[in-house]
Amino acid sequence: MIKFENVSKAYPDGTVAVDGLNLEAPTGKLTILVGPSGCGKTTSLRMINRLIEPTSGTIYLDDQPTSGMDAALLRRRIGYVIQHAGLFPHRTIVDNVATMPVLLGESRQKARMKALELMERVGLPASFAKRYPWQLSGGQQQRVGVARALASDPAFMLMDEPFSAVDPVVRAQLQDEFLRLQREIGKTIIMVTHDIDEALKLGDQVAVMRVGGKLAQMASPSELLTSPADEFVADFVGRDRGYRSLGFSNAAGTVTITEEPVVQLGASAAEAQAKASGAWVLVVDGGRKPLGWAQTELIRGEVKREHLNLSGTSATSNGTMRQLLDAALSSPSRRGVVVNEHGELIGTVTATDIVKAIEEEPHLETVR
């Protein structure tokens, strides 16, 4: 547990960065601080490991006040991940990850063995061990930064906008990898981000802060979307929060899934047109995994890959209402493809089916 008890930070010029912050990050959970620029979220994070000293109030790690701890020893108890990874450019990747275990007294050989295990855990191949940071992409460097923070097996982790310096596709991949990793390791983590979508995706709880370092609301992502505390929180979360809240509603058993006529890749045009429901027919491979939609009037002779429209997404049957609705709206046929956990076709849904389920089940089960 990390706890703020009436914590403030004021500077000599009178600037108040954090004002009377009371906040608790539960053990084994991911708490995210989010808010506009100047709201004190990074200052709050850095007061935990005393890179910035509070003006007043107390911060606790598992009921122990940090003010009474040796600052260097305190920082060794806490993993720290920042933007751009902050790697040592003159050290190999394996030695970057092994830094803290060596500082804590482990032999270099043992520390490197642990580093190799952590590299694998965060999705980096062992062949990267002898490379240098400049030889890795930005996303790969961020993975190294996470591995290095985990190397001393800290009970607590602080993350300051760790995924903001990479492109959107890599960022989404890193977020997914981090969620998987957190499910395995269960660290007590406080993360700072300026991206509300990232906060809602990753956080077990989200703390929205106002300018001046005041806490506006602390809540689960689903509660933040459905019950914002005031107009400021509602505006910050976004006016499309009703749609986004569907990302926390389990669709399993609530939406009617319709059997969809399909053809296999290479089928004749006549067969495709016979099975088509309207202008579009769903094409699958030999294992009934969807490949795309074919527009029947464009088919010449047989269904080929170059005729397939791949713009539609698919959703799993145990996914969220938002994923199902997105699949339906992004499909050229307006029928969302639903698959099982193995990617095999179950059927399709329409936006009308989904809206009907929402109206009939207004209090859908929350997914976390």
Instruction: For 194-238, write each residue's pLDDT tens digit.
Output: 888 899 889 999 999 999 899 999 999 988 988 899 999 988 888
Q: Domain boundary residue among 181, 205, 238?
A: 238
- Binned at pLDDT 50, 70 and 90, residue 248 comes out as confident
Please check the confidence at residue 330 and state whether its pLDDT lies above 60: yes
Q: Given a cut of 90, is residue 190 above it in pLDDT? A: yes
Q: Is the pLDDT of residue 312 over 80?
A: no
Considering the domain architecture, whether residues 223 and 284 belong to the same structural domain is answered as no
One domain, residues 221 and 274: no
320 vs 239 pLDDT, higher one: 320
Domain assignment present for residue 341? The answer is yes
Q: What is the mean pLDDT of residues 4-19?
A: 94
Domain residues for the domain of 206 are 2-238
Q: Are residues 60 and 200 in the same domain?
A: yes
For helices 138-150 and 108-121, the axis angle rounded to 10 degrees is 130
Instruction: Give one DSSP letter per residue of 100-133, joined into a string.
Output: HHHHTT--HHHHHHHHHHHHHHTT--GGGTT--G
Output the CA torsion sign for 224, 227, 233, 234. Answer: positive
Q: What confidence score (pLDDT) does residue 268 get?
A: 76
Average pLDDT of the residues in 182-199: 91
Asked if residue 34 has pLDDT above 70, the reply is: yes
Q: Give the range among 199-203, 289-293, 340-344, 358-362 with minimum mean pLDDT.
A: 358-362
CATH of the domain at 109: 3.40.50.300
Q: Which residue has the higher pLDDT, 167 or 273?
A: 167
Q: For residues 238-256, b (16+ Cβ closer than 10 Å) or e, as one string?
A: eeebeebbbbbbebeebbe
Residue 256 lies in a domain: no
User: In this structure, is the dihedral angle defined by the CA atoms of residues 92, 95, 97 and 100, taken in order, positive or negative?
Assistant: negative
Q: What is the pLDDT of residue 361?
A: 65
Percentage of residues in the chain with pLDDT exceeding 90?
Answer: 41
Q: How many domains does the chain have?
A: 2
Query: Which among 238, 271, 286 is the end of a domain?
Result: 238
Say yes or no: 271 and 234 in one domain: no
> Taking residues 340-346, what's their average pLDDT?
90
79 and 170 fall within a common domain: yes
Pair (127, 42) in one structural domain = yes
pLDDT of residue 363 exceeding 60, the answer is no
- Do 299 and 354 lie in a common domain? yes
CA distance 138 to 152: 23
**Does residue 186 belong to any structural domain of this protein?**
yes
Query: Do 105 and 176 belong to one domain?
Result: yes
Q: Is residue 300 part of a domain?
A: yes
| Residue 248 domain-assigned (yes or no) | no
How far apart, in whole angstroms, are the C-alpha atoms of residue 181 and residue 122? 7
Can you give the CATH number for the domain in which 348 is found? 3.10.580.10
Residue 366, pLDDT score = 46
Give the single-character DSSP code of 300.
B
The answer to whether residue 199 sits within a structural domain is: yes
If asked whether residues 70 and 218 sit together in one domain, one would say yes
pLDDT at 270: 74
Mean local confidence (pLDDT), 136-151: 89
Q: Give tens-digit pLDDT for 57-101.
A: 999 999 899 999 999 889 888 999 887 778 889 999 999 999 988
| 253 CB-near residues (< 8 Å, 6+ apart) | none
pTM here is 0.77
pLDDT number for residue 298:
60
Mean pLDDT, the chain, whole residue set: 87
Instruction: Give the C-alpha separation, 150 to 157, whole Å.
Output: 8
The answer as to whether 244 is a domain residue is no
Residue 299's pLDDT band, with cuts at 50, 70 and 90, is: low
Query: Residue 297 has what pLDDT?
Result: 67
- What is the pLDDT, as a whole number, of residue 368? 44
CA nearest neighbour of 231 among 261, 256, 210: 210
> Does residue 326 sit in the same domain as residue 286?
yes
DSSP state of 365: P
Verify that 12 and 104 share a domain, yes or no. yes
Query: Is 290's pLDDT higher than 80?
Result: yes
For residue 365, is it within any domain? no
pLDDT band of residue 367 (cuts 50, 70, 90) is: very low
**CA neighbours closer than 13 Å in the CB half-sphere of residue 180:** 9
My answer on whether 107 and 200 are in the same domain is: yes
